[in-house]
A and B are shown apart, each in its own frame.
Chain A
């Protein structure tokens, strides 16, 4: 590019800018003056912006700007607004009965949305984000409930937990029949096979069904009931169905009978407000397994 030295272009009768690229010269076509004035105005605007809004980084923090604007404060205001808007709806949720919430499409939608969020924050670590559970942590989508699957029973379990230490918590546990010396190892193997037979699962060759039945009647029926149908008052699972919290194979059953089981569900009363607990009960009930 050559020095800025205009030339007269006799074809157009205009001068060039003096710029030249590979022999191609540029005619001087002046920009409108307001254009360059606009450019200067943007600079003035930028300076104004620095003064009014937070702009320059400092060693610790940044310039604040005379308006004192902060996006964080904005978020706080918007969250407060949101709480205010939700306030009425959550009051309505808190006032309605659990059954009525499920019947009102608007309340049901709100409860499910709220319940899903709160579930993700508080319950997902054990039950999984989709409430599908894991070994020792019940799947809340199915229809098998340790402590009952009606709306009220679910709500009660959420409020007070199971073996949580709360005064109203669900109590009852699977005893450690082997560790405490109640049953001998061979008896445990026998009764484990008997339990498998209750659920229609195959049993070990040569196992003594009559002996297993006697051990079961002497030790297990108190909680698990006649025929192993379970007892929701005590959180004793139904042993005849297809759903097993810890597993249905012989080794797992032997481990369960030997060492006992006592999973803990924390109590949420006091940690979550009543309306939120209601929302969560409706959410869990609506997952599909609710009675």
Chain B
């Protein structure tokens, strides 16, 4: 098929094709319709949550932060409404990540790149920035004209560009500002930021996120999706023939003709396609592709071409949804005169749903049965055992007691192990010598040195299991752990 090219014929760069190409700027046209409305709605919801969630309050009692969602790095705590997580409970996040990943797979196998088209921050903010650009500079045609007449840098044009960039910068700045509010008490931090009293780190993070938002949403736009993001490549491996993707129904669209000619041919009883080659689908595309070329990496499946095409089809009196969420199987079925079938429920989606349900179920169960009192014990390794002057044996342990509740606790420590064994806590008052009592302040851990002593008589084994019980003597809440008591 390929014909050899004589190098002498390759005179311009276009013949060869350059190895590096300048970006072809995309000028998406405004569009109205179902999917545009869905996108506006989701944008309002996502950004609303992002910008205002830090200001939602949640009463956790005195001394505890009152912010509903807070990542408290200095104190290593994560607060989410009624949930408070400690660093050692990071596995909840693992579960959350598994659910998020599988949910992404599920979306993909049901409706293609729903994430890319509607929910990805890159898409949402780019969409918002395009709206600003359209508001300041006008729609597609005006923007193209203005960009072409470079020579005519009038005051009006310069001020337009300045205004657009200023609004972008303000949005980007709010975006960075909202980010840091998740890491500190929001109202306090806003006050500090306004009076320049906030920690330098807050300003640095706001600066970084302002810059990335401004550059990625204002200037990089679709290039982030086509050149930088790994997800388009990964999702191509996750999709299957039943997944519904934004599809040009070429069975209906081809052959493309003009409206007038189509009417003439139809009058003669010939088959003509519905596509009138108006390029409205291309004009509205935020990544500048032609959906009629089929599924492709550049397509983020935002559905705006569906709206554009529907508007045209309505105008020329043809049925809508020439471009729609569909797949190749149904195109072929229609070509063969069969009714299309949609299989949302199939093994792939069922497996994904089952994984989400299982991991989600485990997480909810673990969260519901999470104890607010816990003990970890570590046996001394050097020496493992000590012989005392009366011949009895002593083992030392480092115990860490965790009080995850919002109140101070009085904890009693009991052991269940070697015959006639006693326990002593270094530094603890010996009011009750056989049953040490410790106060653990609320929302904290205490490291204790525990000494377990047992007579050699009656404990002949080299290693005896020993169980440590901690009991909140006020509430009766208890926890325990097992270690070993070793003879020298």
Contact = CB atoms under 8 A, between A and B. Distances in A.
Interface in B433-466: 446-447, 449, 451
A16 B426 contact: no
Contact of B2 (A16, A31, A130): A16
B391 A242 contact: yes
Contacts, number: 114
Contacts of B5: 5-8, 15
Nearest to A238: B389
Contacts of A16: 2
B82 interface: no
A104 to B, nearest CB: 8
A266 interface: no
Nearest to B9: A8
A142 B387 contact: yes
The listed residue with most A CB atoms (<10 A of its CB), out of B382, B426, B451, is B426
B365 interface: no
A10 B427 contact: no
Nearest to A109: B447
A25 B5 CA distance: 14
A241 B2 CA distance: 99
A15 B16 contact: yes
A51 interface: no
Instruction: Give chain B's interface secondary structure class.
Output: loop
B389 A32 contact: no
Contacts of B427: 102-103, 105, 108, 286
Contacts of A131: 383
Contact of B1 (A10, A15, A28, A144): A10
Given A5-B7, A10-B3, A288 B389 contact: no
Nearest to A240: B389
A11 interface: yes
Contacts of B22: 32-33
A52 interface: no
What's the interface size class on B, roughly? 35 or more
Interface string A110-131: 0010000000000000001111
Contacts of B383: 128, 130-132, 139, 141
A112 B7 CA distance: 81
B388 A6 contact: no
B47 interface: no
Given A132-B382, A238-B389, A32 B15 contact: no
A30 B17 contact: yes
Given A11-B1, A141-B394, A33 B388 contact: no
A67 interface: no
A149 to B, nearest CB: 10
A129 B382 CA distance: 7
A143 B388 contact: yes
Nearest to B395: A288
A30 B18 CA distance: 6
B20 interface: yes
B387 A243 contact: yes
A21 interface: no
B145 interface: no
A108 B428 CA distance: 11
A213 B380 CA distance: 42
A5 to B, nearest CB: 6
Contacts of B390: 241-242
A105 B388 contact: no
A179 interface: no
B389 A242 contact: yes
A6 B3 CA distance: 10
A142 B382 CA distance: 13
A278 to B, nearest CB: 15
A176 interface: no
A141 B389 CA distance: 11
Contacts of B4: 7
Interface in A237-290: 238, 241-243, 286-289
> Which 7 pairs show the lowest CB-CB distances between chains A and B?
A130-B382, A241-B389, A30-B21, A132-B383, A28-B17, A141-B386, A144-B389
Given A33-B21, A108-B427, 5 more contacts: A16-B2, A130-B383, A141-B396, A144-B388, A241-B389
20 contacts: A5-B7, A6-B5, A10-B1, A10-B2, A25-B2, A30-B17, A31-B20, A32-B22, A32-B23, A33-B21, A33-B23, A130-B382, A132-B383, A139-B386, A142-B387, A142-B394, A243-B387, A243-B388, A243-B389, A286-B426
Interface of B: 1-5, 7, 10, 15-23, 223, 227, 380-383, 386-391, 394, 396, 426-427, 429, 446-447, 449, 451
